[in-house]
C-alpha cells in the first residue's frame, strides 16, 4: 500500500513538472484544426489488461482503465497500444495531455505528455488570373478568406514549384503554349487545403480597325455634341416662330371679328346726320312753289259743272303743277308730320 502511494505521488509530481516545462515552451507539440480529430501518439507495445492506463487533460482525469475495466472515458477512444483519440476538437480542447501506464504492482511502466494547440481550419483557396499582354505575362492569385499565418505553394502540371511560396504567381505568356494546369495550396500548422486546377486561356485581342477619319475620339465627340446642340437650337427656334405666327393669326382674326361687330352696331344706330343734311339742302335749293292745300283741291273738284261755266276758267292742280318746276325732294325724316287739312 505504501508503494502504491509513493508511486502515485511520483506520477503526480512528474506530471506537474511536465506541465511547467510545457508551459514554458513557445510552440506546441501537436496542432489540430477546429472540428477535426487528433490521435495522441502514445505507444506501449506490451500493454495488457493487467496494466493500469490513465489519461489526463490539464490535470483532469479523462480516461482510466484497470484490469480491463474502463471507469472513466470510452474504451473505443483508446487503441491497443494506449493512444488516445480526440474527436471534434474545439479551442477548449487545447492544453497539456499526459498518459501513464502502471504495472500490476503499481510501479510506473511508461509515461508520455504533450501540448496540443487548436487552430482555425484552413479555407479552400481559389485561383483567379489576369492576362497582361503589355508585360507579356499572366498573373495568378491564390485567394483565400483569411491569408494570415498561411503558407502558399504552387504546382504546374502537378509539379511543385519550389521557388514559388507567395500568394501570387507570374508566368510568361510563352510558357502557356498548350494546356498548362495550375493549382495552389494554403497550409498552416493545423492542416492544408488545395484549390481546383485552373488552365489559363489568354487570347491576344484582335487589332482595332484603322480610324475612318484622322480625328481623335475627343474631337468626334465634341463635333457630335455641337451638332446635336445646333439641332436642338433650330428646333426650339422653329417652335417659337410657329407659336408667334399662330398668335399673330389669332389676334388678326379677333381684330376682324371686332371690326365686323362694330359695323353691325353702326347699322343698327340711327342716322344722326339727317337733320343737318336736310338743313343744308334746304338752304342751297331754290324755294319750291307754293303747293295748293288739300282743301282748295277739294273745293275745285267738288264744284258743279254749271257753276264752272259761269266762272272764269281756272287751272287745275295738275296743270298748275305741270307749269311750275317740280320741287326738290326732301330727305326722309324720322317722324314725318302729317299736313293739316
Please tell me the distance from the alpha carbon of residue 15 to that of residue 81, in angstroms, as a whole number.
Answer: 20
Residue from 170, 138, 171, 169 nearest 153 by CA: 169
Specify the pairing of strand 95-102 against strand 108-119.
antiparallel
Question: Model confidence at 50, in pLDDT bands (50, 70, 90)?
Answer: confident
| Residue 176 DSSP code | G
| Residue 78 DSSP code | B
Please tell me the distance from the alpha carbon of residue 301 to that of residue 294, in angstroms, as a whole number.
Answer: 11
What's the whole-number average pLDDT of the chain? Answer: 75
pTM of the model as a whole: 0.47
Convert the pLDDT of each residue in 129-152 to its tens digit.
Answer: 999 888 889 999 999 988 888 999
Given this model, what pLDDT does residue 252 score? 83
Given this model, what pLDDT does residue 316 score? 41
**Positions of E strands within the chain:** 30-33, 38-40, 52-57, 60-66, 69-72, 84-86, 95-102, 108-119, 126-132, 137-143, 151-156, 159-161, 168-172, 182-188, 191-194
| pLDDT of 315 over the 50 cut | no
Average pLDDT value for residue range 67-87: 90
Question: Model confidence at 46, in pLDDT bands (50, 70, 90)?
Answer: confident
* Lowest-confidence pick of 11-25, 44-58, 67-81: 11-25
Convert the pLDDT of each residue in 238-288 to its tens digit.
Answer: 998 988 888 888 888 888 877 777 777 776 655 544 444 444 444 444 444
The answer to whether residues 110 and 48 touch, using CB atoms and an 8 Å cutoff, is no
Convert the pLDDT of each residue in 181-236 to its tens digit.
Answer: 999 999 998 889 999 999 998 887 665 555 555 667 778 788 888 889 989 889 89
Given this model, what pLDDT does residue 97 score? 95
Given this model, what pLDDT does residue 148 score? 85
Amino acid at each position: 500500500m505504501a508503494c502504491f502511494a509513493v508511486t502515485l505521488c511520483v506520477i503526480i509530481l512528474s506530471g506537474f513538472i511536465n506541465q511547467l516545462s510545457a508551459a514554458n515552451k513557445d510552440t506546441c507539440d501537436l496542432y489540430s484544426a477546429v472540428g477535426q480529430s487528433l490521435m495522441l501518439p502514445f505507444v506501449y507495445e506490451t500493454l495488457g489488461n493487467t496494466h493500469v492506463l490513465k489519461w489526463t487533460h490539464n490535470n483532469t482525469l479523462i480516461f482510466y482503465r484497470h484490469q480491463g475495466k474502463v471507469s472513466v472515458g470510452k474504451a473505443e477512444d483508446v487503441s491497443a497500444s494506449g493512444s488516445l483519440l480526440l474527436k471534434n476538437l474545439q479551442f477548449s480542447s487545447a492544453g497539456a495531455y499526459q498518459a501513464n501506464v502502471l504495472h500490476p504492482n503499481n510501479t510506473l511502466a511508461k509515461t508520455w505528455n504533450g501540448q496540443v494547440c487548436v487552430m482555425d481550419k484552413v479555407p479552400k483557396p481559389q485561383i483567379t488570373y489576369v492576362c497582361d499582354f503589355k508585360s507579356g505575362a499572366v498573373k495568378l492569385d491564390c485567394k483565400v478568406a483569411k491569408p494570415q499565418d498561411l503558407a502558399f505553394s504552387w504546382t504546374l502540371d502537378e509539379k511543385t514549384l519550389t521557388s514559388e511560396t507567395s500568394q501570387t504567381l507570374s508566368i510568361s505568356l510563352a510558357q502557356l503554349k498548350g494546356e498548362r494546369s495550375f493549382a495552389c495550396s494554403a497550409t498552416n500548422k493545423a492542416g492544408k487545403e488545395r484549390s481546383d486546377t485552373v488552365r489559363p486561356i489568354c487570347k491576344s485581342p484582335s487589332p482595332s480597325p484603322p480610324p475612318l477619319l484622322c480625328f481623335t475620339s475627343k474631337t468626334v465627340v465634341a463635333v457630335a455634341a455641337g451638332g446635336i446642340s445646333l439641332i436642338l437650337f433650330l428646333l426650339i427656334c422653329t417652335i417659337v416662330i410657329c407659336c408667334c405666327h399662330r398668335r399673330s393669326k389669332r389676334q388678326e382674326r379677333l381684330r376682324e371679328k371686332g371690326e365686323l361687330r362694330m359695323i353691325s352696331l353702326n347699322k343698327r344706330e340711327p342716322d344722326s346726320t339727317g337733320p343737318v343734311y336736310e338743313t343744308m339742302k334746304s338752304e342751297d335749293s331754290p324755294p319750291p312753289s307754293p303747293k295748293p292745300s288739300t282743301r282748295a283741291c277739294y273745293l275745285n273738284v267738288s264744284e258743279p259743272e254749271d257753276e264752272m261755266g259761269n266762272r272764269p276758267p281756272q287751272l287745275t292742280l295738275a296743270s298748275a303743277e305741270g307749269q311750275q318746276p317740280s320741287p326738290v325732294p326732301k330727305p326722309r325724316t324720322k317722324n314725318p308730320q302729317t299736313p293739316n287739312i
